Structure 1
Amino acid sequence: MPEGHSIHRLARQFSSVFGGSRLTVSSPQGRFAAGAGQLDGHVLEGASAVGKQLFLHFDNDLYLRIHLGLYGAFDFGGDETFAGASSIGAPRRVGERETAGDDGAGYAGPPEPKGAVRVRLVSDHGWADLRGPTACEVVTEAERSKVLARLGPDPLADGADGTAGAERAAEFARRLGSKGSPIGLLLMNQEVLAGVGNVYRAEVLFRAGISPWRLGRSVNGDEARELWNDVVRLMNDGVRQGRIITTLPGDREDAGEPVPVSEAHYVYQRTGLPCRRCGTPVAGTEMGARKLYWCPSCQAD
């Protein structure tokens, strides 16, 4: 499932590429035909992300709310003025290009839809196709506010270093400390922390030396704030780099750049391999119907 950094990248790309443009909105698959009709011909005023929720704001005061879920993804393309990732979401394209222009062949509009395209958005200079989302609906401002009210603080929200950031850190600590569930579950709970998924969950707990089985109410305020600060740091890196890299250079066997996939994580998808810091085999099991990875030595109960 795409994590919060990918959704924030999506929001920035939509605002950059389509912001201020009048869009043709359609549903080649047909499942979103009624919703597309509400947005077709309107100007996209901007895009925003909160956790794993993407909101496209149109000039008729309606929003397109999208949650990619496990299988949702956007494909993009356009003319020589179109700059951005060619695909964002899951599954990711192998060898994804960082630009999705016309490759010098001339732009003749979007290609014929391939597969089950839930919604297509087209401007004069580019297009975006959405496939496989968990949620894709048109909502009002009031409905959007209800969605946001259910979410915990977002580490990628503006002002992470100021007063607002301190307030969000305190709110995360309060929500975490009020729960009697394992922290490995709570970090994936969007009502506790918005945007964190399986990779960040495993990696920040390793970096903090906290067992995923430790109860949220046993985590003190200082520990919670340190977790929050690390999540903020790592997720902002993810937005800039377009991928999740959590290892420090001194913990990698291969010091090359760009960081190889095999060197990007401490424990995620490394079951049975030696811990990068202590050599203990990385453990793997399931928690909350998702794969869980941790070092039994570095993250002892």
Structure 2
Amino acid sequence: MVVHLGMTGGFRLEKTPHTRAEFLLEDGVLHFHDPRRFGRIWVVERGAYGEIPLLARLGPEPLSPEFRPEAFLLGLRRSRKPLKALLLDQTLAAGVGNIYADEALFRAGLSPFRLGREVSEEEALRLFQALREVLAEAVALGGSTLSDRTYQQPDGLPGGFQKRHAVYGRTGLPCPRCGAPIAKGVVAGRGTHYCPRCQR
């Protein structure tokens, strides 16, 4: 079985109004919770994951050994897309969402509007490392639970990474690095939070 959580999917120990599937286990029930209905579940033979078109197009997961700086740099350099759009394009790095793209770009000091082909090798390596750091911290802290609480951990508790957001959801507040107001724009149809002074 392969599960894609979509934007708001996750597993819960308790049934919710947004439970879309239930998995009966030896010691209880696991509920697939998906408020926006973007999640997917496939049942395939072990090792036949390439049969799922969505998975066949995914790039490497940023916390895996397959995520290599050389390939990341090459993917950036070949593109005329803005950096934020590239991070959201799951073929370069799988699993990077809106929050984590904004936070990684901030840590790397790169504008979300810069084109991939304009990034130097040193900048690409900074972004590569920032992406890995942001995702590792987010996983360790249980993800980001925003005010709408669409994401929670399986036990119903909120994540903790939202307390470390430097730019995401902080429009108009001071940048933690330079004090300039955090700005919000749109890249690839997604709200994009950034510091116009720190991120070049």
Shared fold per TM-score greater than 0.5: yes
Secondary structure of residue in 1 paired with 2:88: coil
1:125 equivalent in structure 2: 27
How well do the aligned residues superpose, as a CA RMSD in angstroms?
2.4
* 1:1-301 equivalent positions in 2, closer than 5 A: 64-76=1-13, 114-115=16-17, 117-132=19-34, 133-134=37-38, 135-141=40-46, 144-146=49-51, 147-157=54-64, 159=65, 164=66, 168-243=68-143, 263-300=163-200
CA distance in 1, matches of 2:141, 2:181: 29
Q: Is the 8 A contact 1:75 1:130 kept in 2?
A: yes
CA distance in 2, matches of 1:287, 1:217: 16
**1:65 Cα deviation from its structure 2 partner:** 2.1
**1:261 Cα deviation from its structure 2 partner:** 7.2
Residue identity opposite 1:265 in structure 2:
H
The 1:118–1:218 alpha-carbon spacing in structure 2 relative to 1, beyond 3 Å, is same
The 1:76–1:296 alpha-carbon spacing in structure 2 relative to 1, beyond 3 Å, is same
Residue identity opposite 1:139 in structure 2:
V
Q: Is the 8 A contact 2:58 2:91 kept in 1?
A: yes
CA distance in 2, matches of 1:224, 1:293: 20
Q: Is the 8 A contact 1:152 1:172 kept in 2?
A: no
CA distance in 2, matches of 1:205, 1:188: 12
Q: Is the 8 A contact 2:169 2:193 kept in 1?
A: yes
The 1:125–1:265 alpha-carbon spacing in structure 2 relative to 1, beyond 3 Å, is same
CA distance in 2, matches of 1:297, 1:156: 29
Q: How many residues align?
A: 181
CA distance in 2, matches of 1:226, 1:236: 15
Uncovered stretches (5+) of structure 2, i.e. residues with no partner: 145-159
Secondary structure of residue in 2 paired with 1:66: strand
Uncovered stretches (5+) of structure 1, i.e. residues with no partner: 1-63, 78-112, 245-259
CA distance in 2, matches of 1:204, 1:115: 33
CA distance in 2, matches of 1:178, 1:148: 22
CA distance in 2, matches of 1:273, 1:116: 33
CA distance in 1, matches of 2:173, 2:21: 42
CA distance in 1, matches of 2:119, 2:60: 17
Q: TM-score, normalized by length of structure 1?
A: 0.54
Q: TM-score, normalized by length of structure 2?
A: 0.79
**1:174 Cα deviation from its structure 2 partner:** 1.3
1:60 equivalent in structure 2: none
CA distance in 2, matches of 1:213, 1:142: 38
Q: Which moved more, 1:217-226 or 1:283-292?
A: 217-226
The 1:122–1:294 alpha-carbon spacing in structure 2 relative to 1, beyond 3 Å, is same
CA distance in 2, matches of 1:276, 1:116: 36
Q: Is the 8 A contact 1:153 1:172 kept in 2?
A: no
**1:137 Cα deviation from its structure 2 partner:** 2.4
Which protein shows a greater Rg? 1
User: Which one has more relative contact order, counting CA pairs under 8 Å at least 6 apart?
Assistant: 2
Secondary structure of residue in 2 paired with 1:74: strand
